[in-house]
C-alpha cells in the first residue's frame, strides 16, 4: 500500500485513450417537494432527493465495470444517466470525450449518433418487450429508427442473424414475447440491444429476474458476445457473486456515493471499505452450512435525510468523530483501488 | 432407520411432524388437467428446517400452499395425503383447516407489505391473531404481542406496537410478519421466500432470526427459496424439486458438496460464487418443461447429459444414493 494516498481528482488521466465512457462529478437530484400550494401554506421548504451524489468513474474500452449496492443506493439512476435517459443535475458524462447531453443529436463523423453506440438491457424482460409486437419487429426497431437498413429482406436477414447470435431460431421472429420463457425474453432484449451495433451496453440487473440455471446461460452468452464484438459493459447488480463473475473492475455504491472502486481481484480478495466488507460478509455462502454469523445491525438510512459526513458512519464499526463531520472523498489507496474512507487517509491507523 | 438422527449437531427425534405421501395437485383446464405436483413425498421432523429449492414453476410454493390449505382454485389436491402429527389434514373441512392454520401451521410470505393489513396497527393484528388461537384477555394478548415483537428483534416494542405497517422498513416488516407467524406457537412454519424481497444485509439478519427461533422454540420450518446460499446456512435437509416432482432429498451438506442427481449437480455448478472466480459457469441447456409438456419418464431426461434409454420411458422413484435419496435411473443402475 502506498504511504500517501493521492486524491483521485488530482490524478492526470494517463490512460485517457482507453477510456470509453467517463462520469465526472455527476450528481442527480430529484425534486420531491410538496405541491406549491402546500409549501406556501405550510411554509415548507423545497426538498431534494440526492439519488446520485458527486460520482466519478470511468470505464475502459472492452472492460466490464460492475456496479453493486443495495436497493435505493442509486445504481439504476447511474445507468439512466449514462444512457442519457436522465440528464445530470451537476457534472458531466463523456463518451469518447463527447459530453452526452443530447444523445440523439450528437453525431460522430457526421453519421453515427451516440444513441446507436449506447444501448441498454433492462431487468424485467416481461416489461421491456412490447407484447403486441412480434420478436422480429422488436429486434428490427433499432435498425429502422436509425435508418441502418431500409430493404425489407435485408432487415429480415439481419434479424435472423441477431437471433442466431443470442441462441434463438430465425423462425422465432414471427412469434410474440408471451410465447417465450424469461431467459429467452432476455435473449430477445440482448438481440435488440445489439441491433444497432453498439459499443457500450448498460445492463441493469439483467439476470435478477431469472432462475440460476438460466442466469448461467445468459451470463455465458453475454461473455461470449463481449469477446466476439469487443463490447464494453456497465453491469449493475445487487448480487455480489454475479458481479464477481462478470466484472473486471467493481464500484460499490452506498446512498448515492461510490465508497470503493477496485479491480475485481483486489476487491474480492481484500475489501477495504467497511461497507464493502459488511456486504461481502452478509452473503449467504454455500460453504457455510449450518454455521452462525453475526450480521451487521441496522438498515440503510432514509436517502431524504442522509447522515452527515460519511453516509455509512452510523452503521460503521470503525467510525471516528471525523466521519460524522466530514465527507470522505474517493482516494487512490494503491494502484488497483480507490476508497472513500478516512481510515485509509494519510497517516491514520488502518482497521484490520 | 435409527430412532435418533443427528444433523449439524442438532438432535432430532425421529418422529415426523409433517408427512406428505404421494401428494398430487392438478389444475383442471379446458384442454385437460395439468399436473402441477406429481407424487411428492417427504417428511419434516420436529425442530428441523427443511429447505425446498427449485426453479420457478417447479412446484415449491404450490407444495407449501397445499400444506397450509391455501391452494388457489381451480388447483386442488387430487391424490395423496398430508399428515400432521398422525392426523390427516388434506381433507379437513374449511372451518377446521382455518383453526389449524395459524395455530399448528403458520406461514410467512415473500412480500411483508402484502401480508400485513395496512389499515390496522401491527398491535391490533397481533392481538387479534393471539386471541383467535389462544384463550387470552386483551391485556394478556397485548402483553404477549409486545413480547413477540421484542423476541423478533424490534427495538422499542412498547412504542412500535401502535404503529402501522407503513411506518416500518422492509426488514422490520418481515420481523413483524414473523412475530405474527409465531403468535400461537405453531409447530410448523411454512416460509415461502421470506428473504427474497430484502437486501443482503437485512437478509442475513432475518436468516439468523429464523434459525435462532427454530432452535429456541423447537419450531419446524419448511423454507422455500430459490437461493442455495440461504438454504446452505439455514436448512438441515434439502429437497430439490423439478417439474412438480422431488428430484433429490438429503442432508444439506451432502446436497451441496456431493449432489447425486444430474439436475442438482447442474444447478449447483451454475451458481456463481463470491469466494471463487470461475471463467465460465456450467449451464444446463434448455429450460424446465411447461406443465402441459412434461416429458415421459424422468422429467429431466431431455436436458440430462447422462440420460439412458430407460429415462425416456419409465419414471424413476426416489432411491437411496449415498446419504441422500435421488430419483434417477443412472444412479440406480
Query: What whole-number distance in Å separates Cα of residue B62 and Cα of residue B56?
Result: 11
Q: Is the separation of the CB atoms in B258 and B264 below 8 Å?
A: no
Which candidate in B270, B278, B286 is best for mutational testing of the A interface (most A CBs within 10 A)? B270
Interface list for A 39-78 with B (CB within 8 A): 70-71
Query: What whole-number distance in Å separates Cα of residue B194 and Cα of residue B51?
Result: 12
Instruction: Check A289 against B233: CB less than 8 A apart.
Output: yes
Which candidate in A214, A284, A292, A304 is best for mutational testing of the B interface (most B CBs within 10 A)? A284
Nine cell digits for residue B78? 387430487
Whether A207 contacts chain B with CB within 8 A: no
Task: Give the model's pLDDT for residue A17.
Answer: 62
Summarised one tens digit per residue, pLDDT across range A289-343 is 555 666 666 777 888 888 889 999 988 888 888 899 999 999 888 888 999 998 8
Query: Going by DSSP bridges, is the β-strand pair A90-95/A19-31 parallel, antiparallel, or unpaired?
Result: antiparallel
Rounded to a whole number of angstroms, the distance from the CA of A100 to the nearest CA of chain B is 32
Query: What whole-number distance in Å separates Cα of residue A148 and Cα of residue A158?
Result: 11
In the predicted model, residues of chain A with pLDDT beneath 70 are 1-17, 102-112, 288-297, 345-352
Rounded to a whole number of angstroms, the distance from the CA of B94 to the nearest CA of chain A is 35
State the average pLDDT for chain B.
Answer: 88
Look-up of cell digits 445507468: A79
Interface list for A 248-267 with B (CB within 8 A): 264-265
Residue B279 pLDDT grade (very low, low, confident, very high; cuts 50, 70, 90): confident
Contacts of A291 in chain B (CB under 8 A): 233
Rounded to a whole number of angstroms, the distance from the CA of B41 to the nearest CA of chain A is 24
Query: What whole-number distance in Å separates Cα of residue A138 and Cα of residue A66?
Result: 27
C-beta atoms surrounding A86 within 10 Å: 17
Query: What whole-number distance in Å separates Cα of residue B81 and Cα of residue B66?
Result: 10
Query: What whole-number distance in Å separates Cα of residue B83 and Cα of residue B187?
Result: 13
Task: Give the model's pLDDT for residue B124.
Answer: 95
pTM: 0.83
B103 vs A344 pLDDT, higher one: B103
Whether A19 contacts chain B with CB within 8 A: no
Summarised one tens digit per residue, pLDDT across range B16-66 is 899 999 999 999 988 888 999 999 999 999 999 999 998 888 999 999 999
SS3 sequence of chain B = CCCEEEECCEEEECCEEEEEEEEEEEEEECCEEEEEEEEEEEEEECCCEEEEECCCCCCHHHHHHHHCCCCCCCCEEEEEEEEECCEECCCCCHHHHHHHECCCEEEECCCHHHHCCCCCCHHHHHHHHHHHHCCCCHHHHHHHHHHHHHHCCCCCHHHHCCCCHHHCCHHHHHHHHHHHHHCCCCCEEEEECCCCCCCHHHHHHHHHHHHHHHHHHCCEEEEECCCHHHHHHHCCEEEEEECCEEEEEEEHHHHHHCCCCHHHHHHHHCCCCCCCCCCCCCCCCCCCCCHHHCCCCCCCHHHCCCCCHHHHHCCCCCEEECCEEECCHHHHC
Nearest Cα residue to B106 out of B192, B195, B218 = B192
Query: What whole-number distance in Å separates Cα of residue B322 and Cα of residue B58?
Result: 24
Task: Give the model's pLDDT for residue B143.
Answer: 94
Contacts of A299 in chain B (CB under 8 A): 169, 171-172, 201-202
Residue B3 has pLDDT above 80, yes or no: no
Chain A residue with CA closest to B210: the answer is A292
Rounded to a whole number of angstroms, the distance from the CA of A15 to the nearest CA of chain B is 26
Rounded to a whole number of angstroms, the distance from the CA of A269 to the nearest CA of chain B is 8
Task: Give the model's pLDDT for residue A1.
Answer: 37
Whether B169 contacts chain A with CB within 8 A: yes
Task: Give the model's pLDDT for residue B202.
Answer: 82
Listed in sequence order, the residues at least 6 apart from B140 whose beta carbon sits closer than 8 Å to its beta carbon are none
Summarised one tens digit per residue, pLDDT across range B161-202 is 999 999 888 888 999 999 999 998 899 999 999 988 788 878
Listed in sequence order, the residues at least 6 apart from B265 whose beta carbon sits closer than 8 Å to its beta carbon are B259
Summarised one tens digit per residue, pLDDT across range B135-158 is 999 999 999 999 999 988 888 899
Whether B232 contacts chain A with CB within 8 A: yes
Query: Going by DSSP bridges, is the β-strand pair A64-68/A232-237 parallel, antiparallel, or unpaired?
Result: parallel
Query: What whole-number distance in Å separates Cα of residue A266 and Cα of residue A249?
Result: 9
Its ipTM equals: 0.78
Whether B313 contacts chain A with CB within 8 A: no
Task: Give the model's pLDDT for residue B13.
Answer: 55
CA distances from A77 to A232, A256, A282, B99 (A): 19, 9, 24, 48
Interface list for A 277-316 with B (CB within 8 A): 278-297, 299-300
Whether B215 contacts chain A with CB within 8 A: no
Query: What whole-number distance in Å separates Cα of residue B88 and Cα of residue A59?
Result: 61
Nine cell digits for residue A213? 440455471
Query: What whole-number distance in Å separates Cα of residue A251 and Cα of residue A279?
Result: 13
Amino acid at each position: 500500500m502506498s504511504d500517501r494516498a493521492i486524491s483521485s481528482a488530482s490524478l492526470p488521466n494517463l490512460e485517457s485513450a482507453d477510456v470509453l465512457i467517463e462520469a465526472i462529478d455527476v450528481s442527480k437530484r430529484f425534486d420531491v417537494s410538496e405541491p406549491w400550494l402546500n409549501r406556501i401554506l405550510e411554509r415548507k421548504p423545497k426538498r431534494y432527493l440526492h439519488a446520485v451524489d458527486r460520482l466519478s468513474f470511468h470505464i475502459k474500452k472492452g472492460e466490464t465495470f460492475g456496479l453493486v449496492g443495495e436497493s435505493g443506493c442509486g445504481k439504476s439512476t447511474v445507468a439512466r444517466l449514462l444512457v442519457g435517459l436522465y440528464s445530470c443535475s451537476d457534472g458531466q458524462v463523456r463518451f469518447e470525450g463527447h459530453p452526452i447531453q443530447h444523445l440523439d443529436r450528437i453525431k460522430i463523423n457526421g453519421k453515427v449518433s451516440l444513441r446507436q453506440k449506447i444501448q441498454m438491457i433492462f431487468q424485467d424482460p416481461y416489461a421491456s418487450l412490447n407484447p403486441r409486437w412480434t420478436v422480429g419487429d422488436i429486434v428490427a426497431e433499432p435498425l429502422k429508427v436509425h435508418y441502418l437498413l431500409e430493404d425489407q429482406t435485408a432487415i429480415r436477414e439481419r434479424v435472423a442473424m441477431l437471433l442466431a447470435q443470442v441462441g434463438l431460431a430465425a423462425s422465432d421472429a414471427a412469434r410474440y414475447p408471451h410465447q417465450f420463457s424469461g431467459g429467452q425474453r432476455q435473449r430477445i432484449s440482448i438481440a435488440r440491444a445489439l441491433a444497432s451495433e453498439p459499443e457500450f451496453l448498460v445492463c441493469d440487473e439483467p439476470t435478477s429476474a431469472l432462475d440460476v440455471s438460466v442466469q448461467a446461460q445468459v451470463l455465458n452468452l453475454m461473455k461470449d458476445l463481449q469477446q466476439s464484438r469487443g463490447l464494453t459493459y456497465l453491469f449493475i447488480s445487487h448480487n455480489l457473486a454475479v458481479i464477481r463473475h462478470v466484472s473486471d473492475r467493481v464500484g460499490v455504491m452506498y446512498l448515492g456515493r461510490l465508497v470503493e472502486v477496485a479491480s475485481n481481484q483486489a476487491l474480492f480478495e481484500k475489501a477495504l471499505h467497511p461497507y464493502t466488507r459488511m456486504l461481502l460478509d452478509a452473503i449467504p455462502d454455500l460453504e457455510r452450512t449450518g454455521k452462525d454469523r453475526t450480521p451487521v445491525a441496522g438498515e440503510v438510512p432514509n436517502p431524504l435525510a442522509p447522515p452527515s459526513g460519511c453516509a455509512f458512519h452510523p452503521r460503521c464499526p470503525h467510525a471516528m468523530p471525523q466521519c460524522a463531520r466530514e465527507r470522505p472523498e474517493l482516494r487512490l489507496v494503491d494502484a488497483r483501488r480507490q476508497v472513500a474512507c478516512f481510515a485509509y487517509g494519510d497517516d491514520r491507523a488502518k482497521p484490520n | 432407520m435409527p430412532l435418533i438422527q443427528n444433523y449439524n449437531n442438532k438432535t432430532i427425534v425421529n418422529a415426523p411432524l409433517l408427512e406428505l405421501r404421494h401428494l398430487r395437485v392438478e389444475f383442471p383446464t379446458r384442454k385437460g388437467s395439468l399436473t402441477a405436483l406429481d407424487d411428492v413425498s417427504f417428511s419434516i421432523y420436529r425442530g428441523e428446517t427443511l429447505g425446498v429449492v427449485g426453479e420457478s414453476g417447479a412446484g415449491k410454493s404450490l407444495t407449501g400452499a397445499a400444506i397450509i390449505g391455501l391452494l388457489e382454485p381451480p388447483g386442488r389436491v387430487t391424490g395423496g395425503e398430508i399428515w400432521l402429527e398422525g392426523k390427516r389434514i388434506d381433507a379437513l373441512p374449511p372451518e377446521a383447516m382455518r383453526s389449524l392454520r395459524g395455530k399448528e401451521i403458520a406461514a410467512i410470505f415473500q412480500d411483508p407489505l402484502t401480508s400485513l393489513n395496512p389499515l390496522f396497527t401491527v398491535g391490533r393484528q397481533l392481538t387479534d391473531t393471539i386471541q383467535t388461537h389462544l384463550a387470552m384477555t386483551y391485556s394478556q394478548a397485548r402483553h404477549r404481542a409486545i413480547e413477540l415483537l421484542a423476541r423478533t428483534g424490534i427495538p422499542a416494542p412498547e412504542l412500535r406496537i401502535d404503529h402501522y405497517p407503513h411506518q416500518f422498513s422492509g426488514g422490520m416488516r418481515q420481523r413483524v410478519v414473523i412475530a405474527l407467524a409465531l403468535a400461537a406457537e405453531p409447530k410448523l412454519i411454512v416460509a415461502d421466500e421470506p428473504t427474497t424481497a430484502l437486501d443482503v444485509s437485512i437478509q442475513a439478519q432475518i436468516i439468523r432470526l429464523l434459525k435462532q427461533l427454530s432452535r429456541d422454540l423447537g419450531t419446524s420450518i419448511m423454507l422455500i427459496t430459490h437461493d442455495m446460499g440461504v438454504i446452505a446456512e439455514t436448512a438441515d435437509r434439502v429437497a430439490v424439486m423439478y417439474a412438480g416432482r422431488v428430484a433429490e432429498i438429503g442432508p444439506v451438506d451432502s446436497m451441496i458438496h456431493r449432489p447425486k442427481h444430474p439436475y442438482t449437480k447442474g444447478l449447483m455448478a451454475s451458481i456463481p460464487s463470491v469466494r471463487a472466480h470461475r471463467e465460465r459457469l456450467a449451464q444446463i441447456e434448455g429450460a424446465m418443461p411447461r406443465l402441459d409438456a412434461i416429458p415421459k419418464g424422468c422429467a429431466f431426461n431431455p436436458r440430462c447429459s447422462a440420460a439412458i434409454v430407460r429415462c425416456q420411458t419409465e419414471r424413476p422413484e426416489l432411491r437411496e444414493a449415498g446419504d441422500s435419496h435421488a430419483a434417477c435411473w443412472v444412479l440406480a443402475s
